[in-house]
Amino acid sequence: MGYKVAIVGATGNVGREMLDILAERRFPADEVVALASRRSMGVEVSYGDKTLKAKALEHYDFSDVDICLMSAGGTVSKEWSPKIAAQGTVVIDNSSAWRMDPDVPLVVPEVNADALAGYRKKGIIANPNCSTAQLVVVLKPLHDFATIKRVVVSTYQSVSGAGKDGMDELDRQTKNVYSLGELEVKKFTKRIAFNVIPHIDVFMDDGYTKEEWKMVVETKKILDPKIKLTATCVRVPVFIGHSEAVNIEFANEITTDQAHEILRNAPGVLVVDKREDGGYATPYEAAGDDATYVSRVREDPTVEHGLALWCVSDNLRKGAALNAIQIAESLINRKLITAKKKAA
């Protein structure tokens, strides 16, 4: 007996990726339902070899749905996730709406799957920010070995992190550069074609952006509240794949060789680190893949016990859709959820 899964926001970038990954991983679903706003009702999306038509969220009855993958933004999630959870459906939410709620687990399965047991308080599980998800997958095994004190991270985040509108803007502006057309700025605060923008989400009172704040508080909640972290988040003219330059200070000694060995054995991590031309991962290679790639591992001589490294991941997959589906798989594997049909 399989599960009934609903995807809210099925016509968006991440929603479509969720459908692809459910099919790829042969998720045990008897039925998958595509849901969206009334505006997108009737839009066709692919699920394996099937074509699904998006239904309207506001008219849908969730009483027989086991798992709802929510990828429709924070406003929709704030309104709908509690209503859906009240019908006995587990909601796995991709927005920032519930991440810092103390009664909602914030989960990256390779890092803190044990936290899943706490989902029953509200029936909601939060997916972390895309840039946090790939970072903690890399930090966790290193932290277990040598205890991380402090992290300095600079991100190079692709335009797909800003949704379809972000991808369209880069595409349109790039074409207009070559055709000498007008470079219209709509989605981003400055032109993104052949440029980088050190600004993602809104500015906060201390000068950090909300994206940078999310990385700080989410890393503490998922991994360890004692870790100090500072981030600079930058939007770059890449379609898919977030990259991060990471400096880590440890309490205890760790060598480059030890770090390589630890990361090679870590779940969800792929080490590509040859000290030669092209011997490292870039977002181009990571796009469409599940792993978080780690390259350029070296000792940081500015602190007593330090490492510097580069990590890259597909932000639509590990940063969003894949992580949500891994959460659902973990719920099943840990027997934290039973199909409603089976229970009946």
Active-site pick, 68, 130, 233, 311: 130
Instruction: Please report the pLDDT score of residue 270 as a whole number.
Output: 98
Contact present, 70 and 8 (Cβ < 8 Å): yes
Instruction: Please report the pLDDT score of residue 291 as a whole number.
Output: 97
Mean pLDDT, the chain, whole residue set? 96
- DSSP assignment of 173-226 equals HHHHHHHT-----SSSSS--TT--BS--S-B-TTS-BHHHHHHHHHHHHHT-TT
Average pLDDT, integer, range 214-242: 98
Active-site pick, 68, 143, 233, 242: 242
Average pLDDT, integer, range 240-260: 98
* pLDDT above 60 (res 252): yes
Dihedral pair phi/psi, residue 73, rounded to 5° = 90, 160
Query: Catalytic site residue 68?
Result: no
Average pLDDT, integer, range 52-78: 96
Query: Catalytic site residue 143?
Result: no
Domain ranges across the chain? 3-127+321-343, 131-158+196-313
The reply to whether domains 3-127+321-343 and 131-158+196-313 share a CATH topology is: no
Instruction: Please report the pLDDT score of residue 333 as a whole number.
Output: 97
Instruction: Give domain 3-127+321-343's CATH architecture.
Output: 3-Layer(aba) Sandwich (3.40)
> Global pTM?
0.95
Q: What is the pLDDT of residues 111-129, one digit of tens each?
A: 999 999 999 999 999 999 9
Instruction: Give domain 131-158+196-313's CATH architecture.
Output: 2-Layer Sandwich (3.30)
Confidence grade of residue 340 (pLDDT, cut at 50, 70, 90)? confident
CA 64 to the chain's CA centroid: 27
Instruction: Please report the pLDDT score of residue 341 as a whole number.
Output: 80
Q: What is the pLDDT of residues 198-210, one digit of tens each?
A: 999 999 999 999 9
Tell me the CB-side half-sphere exposure of residue 203, using CA atoms within 13 A. Answer: 6
248: its two tokens: 């880590």
Count of other CB atoms within 10 angstroms of residue 245: 15
* pLDDT above 60 (res 344): no
Please choose, from the candidates 334, 166, 318, the residue with its C-alpha nearest in 3D space to the C-alpha of residue 239: 166
